[in-house]
Structure 1
Amino acid sequence: MSDFAIDRLVLVPDDIDLARSPLAGHLDAETYVLGVFNPGLMRLANGNLMMIARVAQALRDPIRDSKVRAIRWTGDPAEGAPPAGGRYLLDLWPLDRVDTSDPRKFMLRGEGWKVMALTSLSWLLPVELSPDGLEIEAIHYDRAIAPQGSHQCYGIEDARISRLPDQWLMTSCSVSPERHSTTLYSSTDGIEWRFEDIVLDHQNKDMLIFEGLIDGRYWAQTRPLGDLYFAYPPGSPWRAGPSINLATSPDARHWKPYREPGIRPAADGVATARMGGGTPPVRTADGWLSLWHGVEPNGIVGIYRTYWSMLDADDPSRVKRTGHRPLLEANPALTRPIEHQMYLRDIVFTTGIADGDDGASAPGRYIVASGEADLACRITHVPKSRFA
């Protein structure tokens, strides 16, 4: 159960009209919304909030004739793509070559290293909400952000939006066989978004740009992944594994890793056996507030919870304090009405934050946006006093 007075799902799969999807008319196969989740969040000039949600669009029948089918975007004229805009097609994989135990993906066997493909293709959908984030005002299908290059041929995932003095910056994860990269978009109004470029070329699911400069530089949290980590010495307070690192940039396009580590997994708790960034760090009177996720091993996917840390205003590698009790956990009461669509459990993945004092829509609170069960978008009003 949630201990917050305002905590609800605001966008669920049945709210999405796939007739207006970027994939509409491309595939001779029925698709459905596997999930609409992990939304970035920002406040528009009119006072409304804008979520940019990830829509995972999947095949209704992915397995046919002893083959697994996967959706892919192509801009290659040799594959029938038009000169501009590209098209979506289906790839066929022999069923005896793959492991389908995870409903979100399938792993190819016999490759010599981990190789996977997805059972869905994701694109980003702007959804305008009321100032308190609790009602849908408009769904902007005409502003959907879809693949536009081979580096995004398997989709675009998990928008994180940061407010800077003269623009909004949005990072996303672009997925392809070429690379698992972080891509950057910019906007001056939160409605029209311009693709800037690939900004991180290595596997990095969680790049979050700080909402403000420090000594004239942009800062970001990153989370590079790998299959090998070096051990901390016996008795260390830290556990080896994925951690939240830092990077700086003169222009938000060219990034250098910061020398000191950021937020690291604690050795004395299983809930941070794996961790990564959640919301872009926001400036407070006491430093930078960072919401992040910690994962407890359990089954194939694990249990995802949201935690928080307060970082030093001048040196974000210094963690001033951390909330060791979860801020948010999965809430089965919220997903009970859509129980028939559930395919994962025990997951809350927080990705967006806005100040409720802006326009006084929720004074004294942060409005926090999360993905619930990789299925729906959740809005929670969190009192600022929680981080004191």
Structure 2
Amino acid sequence: MLGAFNPGLVRLPDGNLLLMVRVAEALAEPVAGGAVRSIRWTPDGYTLDAWPLDQVDMTDPRQFELPGRAHRMLALTSLSWLLPVELSPDGRQVVAVHYDRAIEPVASWQQFGIEDARISRIDGRYWMTSCVVGSERHGTALHVSEDGIAWMPQGLVLDHQNKDMVLFEGRIGGMVMALTRPLGELWFAEPPGSPFAGGPSINLARSPDGLHWKPLEQPLIRPRAGSPFAMKVGGGTPPVLTDGGWLTIWHGVERRGAVGVYRSFWALLDAHEPWRIVGGDDEVPLLEASPALTAPIADRLYLPSPVVFSTGIADGGDHWIVASGEADLACRMSFIPKARFA
């Protein structure tokens, strides 16, 4: 196993917490016989693909690139699936690991894995989005559940190059709302003097049923010109309604090396018009990677730069329980006083 990280988080009907952990599995010896190998799901079982070393760029340890193609082409060094892990109500102890409810690839559009679950409670049901990866598309899938343990697949809801889809915990004006983050190789320049930088941003979409989505025209969280965290921004935790508005924790990336440095920031969105940011901080990180947390397993670190990637949030009374991935290796639980977001 390469790592268990980037977990979705939600409170179950009995008060326990559920982590939906991304488990990434990789080959112990990915390079053999002058080739690098990747794992791929097929209807007949998992198989290995081999790519000659002189045809790949292995700068990023999470993936390798195939240069010289008509389009930018990547392959992953691991394959991911989702594992439900039940915790005590305070989030400090593991109660059960539900291997019998694991979610793994079952279709060609998931052939390279299922990643980064986010879970929200809407209309008394549990809704979970996840990133799905295959040569056909790189999009977002939806699962629903009545109890938070047994999940029913609903298929694709956002098509290629749209990930980090995060559902609000509750409807707004009768509609299901979501943060989205479209990707792409081409972006148009901001005009000279603009406070924003071009590139991926966090957008909004709405849906009557969680299956059919329409983007909102209003932009939301955009990378700022001159900010060290503007290499990439993306959604993190599901927005939860507070007295001050919808609280969400998102990630910003500083350009450093092949991977970049990931940090968590926060924003408050207006309760009725969530495209209006009414509070938050995009300059001082809320969470940064902590080498002390991964010190006992430092021999397994493979990323060249610090990464914390927040993916879940639950109410802990006078504090918020925030679930994150640490170094694409392990799950991290942070306990943040609610007063921090005042």
Normalising by the residue count of structure 1, what TM-score does the alignment of the two structures yield?
0.86
The 3-state SS of whatever aligns with 2:143 is: strand
Amino acid paired to 1:192: A
For 1:120 and 1:202, locate their aligned partners in 2 and report how far apart those are by CA, in whole Å: 20
Partner of 2:191: 233
Partner of 2:12: 44
Matched, 1:199 2:157: yes
Matched, 1:220 2:178: yes
Q: 1:365 aligns with which of 306, 311, 319?
A: 319
For 1:233 and 1:154, locate their aligned partners in 2 and report how far apart those are by CA, in whole Å: 38
Matched, 1:298 2:266: no
The 3-state SS of whatever aligns with 1:336 is: helix
Partner of 2:292: 333
The 3-state SS of whatever aligns with 1:205 is: strand
Matched, 1:263 2:217: no
CA offsets, 1:40-82, max 9 Å, x none? 001111211100010000000111111111111111xxxxx2x
Q: 2:88 aligns with which of 113, 130, 145?
A: 130
How far apart are residue 37 of structure 1 and its match? 0.4
Matched, 1:155 2:113: yes
How far apart are residue 39 of structure 1 and its match? 0.2
Partner of 1:375: 329
How far apart are residue 267 of structure 1 and its match? 1.6
CA offsets, 1:78-122, max 9 Å, x none? xxx2xxxxx111112122111112111111122122101111100
For 2:16 and 2:142, locate their aligned partners in 1 and report how far apart those are by CA, in whole Å: 23
Amino acid paired to 1:350: S
For 1:387 and 1:105, locate their aligned partners in 2 and report how far apart those are by CA, in whole Å: 36
Partner of 2:75: 117
The 3-state SS of whatever aligns with 2:212 is: coil
The 3-state SS of whatever aligns with 1:335 is: helix
Matched, 1:350 2:310: yes
Amino acid paired to 2:94: I
How far apart are residue 202 of structure 1 and its match? 2.2
Partner of 1:7: none
CA offsets, 1:214-270, max 9 Å, x none? 110011000000112122222222111110000000100000000111111122311
Amino acid paired to 1:167: R
How far apart are residue 272 of structure 1 and its match? 2.8
For 1:113 and 1:150, locate their aligned partners in 2 and report how far apart those are by CA, in whole Å: 20
Unpaired stretches in structure 2, ≥5 consecutive residues: none
Amino acid paired to 2:210: A
Partner of 2:132: 174
For 2:67 and 2:220, locate their aligned partners in 1 and report how far apart those are by CA, in whole Å: 36
Amino acid paired to 1:331: S
- What is the alpha-carbon root mean square deviation over aligned residues? 0.9
Alignment of 1:236-255 (within 5 A): 236-255=194-213
For 1:235 and 1:98, locate their aligned partners in 2 and report how far apart those are by CA, in whole Å: 39
Matched, 1:72 2:31: no
Matched, 1:140 2:98: yes
Matched, 1:95 2:49: no
CA offsets, 1:282-323, max 9 Å, x none? 111111001000001001111100000100111111011221
Aligned length: 340
Higher RCO (C-alpha under 8 Å, 6+ residues apart): 1
Q: Percent identity?
A: 59
Normalising by the residue count of structure 2, what TM-score does the alignment of the two structures yield?
0.98
For 1:47 and 1:217, locate their aligned partners in 2 and report how far apart those are by CA, in whole Å: 27
The 3-state SS of whatever aligns with 1:379 is: strand
Runs of 4+ residues deviating >4 angstroms: none
